[in-house]
Chains A and B, each alone.
Chain A
Amino acid sequence: GAGVSQSPSNKVTEKGKDVELRCDPISGHTALYWYRQSLGQGLEFLIYFQGNSAPDKSGLPSDRFSAERTGGSVSTLTIQRTQQEDSAVYLCASSPALNRGRVDEKLFFGSGTQLSVL
């Protein structure tokens, strides 16, 4: 596709349920990021995938959060046993590789998934 695609665009769930959020990055982009934007807050880094390297999971707020990226393309962010404080917009971004193994810091963002935990 032309841009980063995220689905669903909106998700309402009950406290305690598991949710899966999907991100389709721009084709060929080697880096993929997940961020969380809470109401009135900035963007909170969650996890970063770059090529075949081990992901940087340093931003995941608890062990209820996990993410995977299959085949170097699509990524799924899973939140288990959702809590009300998980309510936020979850943003995915991707960026292409530059030479010498670096990745362009110009991130292309998706429109996000608005998660509401009741």
Chain B
Amino acid sequence: AQSVTQLGSHVSVSEGALVLLRCNYSSSVPPYLFWYVQYPNQGLQLLLKYTTGATLVKGINGFEAEFKKSETSFHLTKPSAHMSDAAEYFCAVSEGAAGNKLTFGGGTRVLVKP
């Protein structure tokens, strides 16, 4: 069984400030980890993913996330927020090599203040 917890359903950041979205997971097998983004009135799209190898992964639009096995975390960051980053962000986990079903967290809605 696997689960994902996203701390904070809403996050407000100022334009130019650091964006930090927290994600913790549980998995009985080595996980694959993902961040998806849902912009207003659009479908979900993949932001970045970790499968194997380098634990710091870079995605689109300047986002990156680091897999920390000891902390069972996969937090998403962006050094400088832009107004266009306002969206809902979902962390997800799959069973890695054991399977493909993705389990999503509850989502974090990001508001960017000018």
Q: Smallest Cβ distance from B102 to chain A, in angstroms?
A: 7
Question: A45 touching B104 by the CB < 8 A rule?
Answer: yes
> How far apart sit A69 and B6, CA to CA, in the bound complex (Å)?
32
Residues in A neighbouring B30, C-beta threshold 8 A = none
User: Looking at the complex, which one of A31, A41, A50 makes contact with B106 (CB distance below 8 Å)?
Assistant: A41
B interface size (C-beta, 8 A): 24
A interface residue count range (under 10 / 10 to 19 / 20 to 34 / 35 or more): 20 to 34
Q: Which of B55-114 contact A (CB under 8 A)?
A: 90, 92, 94, 97, 100-107
Known: A42-B106, A105-B34. 9 other contacts (CB 8 A): A31-B100, A42-B107, A43-B104, A44-B104, A48-B100, A95-B100, A105-B51, A107-B102, A110-B43
Q: Which residues of B contact A (CB under 8 A)?
A: 6, 9, 32, 34, 36, 42-46, 49, 51, 90, 92, 94, 97, 100-107
